Amino acid sequence: MIWGAERWILSAYPGRDSICVETGKNIWAMLCEQKEQLVGKHVFARYGDTFPLLMKFIDARDDLSIQVHPSDALAQKYGLPFGKTEMWYVLPSSDDARLYCGLKQQLTPDEYKQMVADKTIVNALAEYPVRDGDCFFIPAGRIHAICSGSQICEIQQTSDTTYRIYDYDRVDKDGNRRELHTDKAAESIDYTVLPDYRTHYTPKKNEPVNLVTCPYFTTNILHIDAPVTRDYSSLDSFVTLICMEGEGVLTEYCNGQATDYPFRQGELLLLPASDNAPVQLSGKFRALEIYIEQD
């Protein structure tokens, strides 16, 4: 990318499908074959043959553009299937890493457009220095940008729709400035000002700590250094584990047989909804646990 690199670690986005190591098939093909057995009955009823989430690692070596994403309703107004709500979990980053999240002053749509024209829109944004373990929830409509030096794990709706607000007058390889979407962004922005946009939580060993619960995903953080049982039998959803640090083993029990799935930093496990039963997690690791709760 013009600003750094992305690695899509779980994706069924057309042309960017993840391949399952165990089956050798891409996620979209598995979803078409397994349907609700893969994602869960309520998830399949809502999304059909669209895998609902996209998960990435982002390495920002330069500032990303100031941007906003539309809601589902607004995206559908413009012929797109989904909007984009997301979250960021910060990985080890440079000492001066920072990001923008949300407005710090009240603006009207006209005032917003004037600040874009004046190239002063960053002055209206809440800026945060970040470090390993920080978390930010970015519902559709919240202005945001990842800045240089930040490394992020991003969980989001399956959508690549971004309305670019300001891009620091950068040019692409052909010398052209990237397109801005000032009017669509003005329509998308939630102009509510909050006192703090950071997610505050207290880490705990060997039990889940909730980071985000929203209609699109639930995300917990797990810090494991002793064997722990996680019971997913009440969930009607797939479960993913993304290892942020260390390494571990997920042990699944079926008909009296134990199967081990080792994993390490940077890897992701996808547990189909049909397999949702108690599993044991062991090793020493930190991981994000993601699933979709029933309304």
* Tens of pLDDT, residues 4-54: 999 999 999 888 999 999 999 999 999 999 999 999 999 999 999 999 999
pLDDT digits (tens, 9 = 90+) for 176-212: 888 999 999 999 999 999 999 999 999 999 999 999 9
Which of the residues 46, 131, 164, 198 is marked catalytic?
164
Provide the CATH number for the domain around residue 89. 2.60.120.10
Give CA 1 to chain center in angstroms: 18
Query: Which range of residues forms the domain containing residue 174?
Result: 52-188
205 bridge partner residues: 223
Inter-CA distances, 130 with 3, 63, 104, 120, 148, Å? 18, 14, 17, 23, 11
CB atoms within 10 A of CB 262: 13
Tell me whether residue 16 is one of the annotated catalytic residues.
no
Scan for tokens 């917990």, then name that residue: 220
Number of domains composing the chain: 2
Residue closest to 125 by CA, chosen among 68, 84, 51, 76? 68
Rg (CA), the chain: 20
Listed residues 157, 188, 219: the one ending a domain: 188
Answer with the one of 132, 156, 188 that is the final residue of a domain.
Answer: 188
Is residue 181 a part of any domain in this protein?
A: yes
Residues 6+ apart with CB under 8 A from 127: 98, 99, 100
Tens of pLDDT, residue by residue, the chain (295 residues) = 888 999 999 999 888 999 999 999 999 999 999 999 999 999 999 999 999 999 999 999 999 999 999 999 999 999 999 999 999 999 999 999 999 999 999 999 999 999 999 999 999 999 999 999 999 999 999 999 999 999 999 999 999 899 999 999 888 778 888 899 999 999 999 999 999 999 999 999 999 999 999 999 999 999 999 999 999 999 999 999 999 999 999 999 887 789 999 999 999 999 999 987 899 999 999 999 999 998 7
- 117 assigned to some structural domain: yes
Looking at the fold, whether 132 and 257 belong to one and the same domain comes out as no
Considering all CA atoms of the chain, what is the largest pairwise distance in Å, rounded to the nearest integer? 67
Please give the structure tokens belonging to residue 190: 């939630």
115 is a domain residue: yes
Residue 9 within any structural domain of the chain: no
What residues are paired with 129 via a beta bridge? 98
Average predicted confidence (pLDDT) for the chain: 95
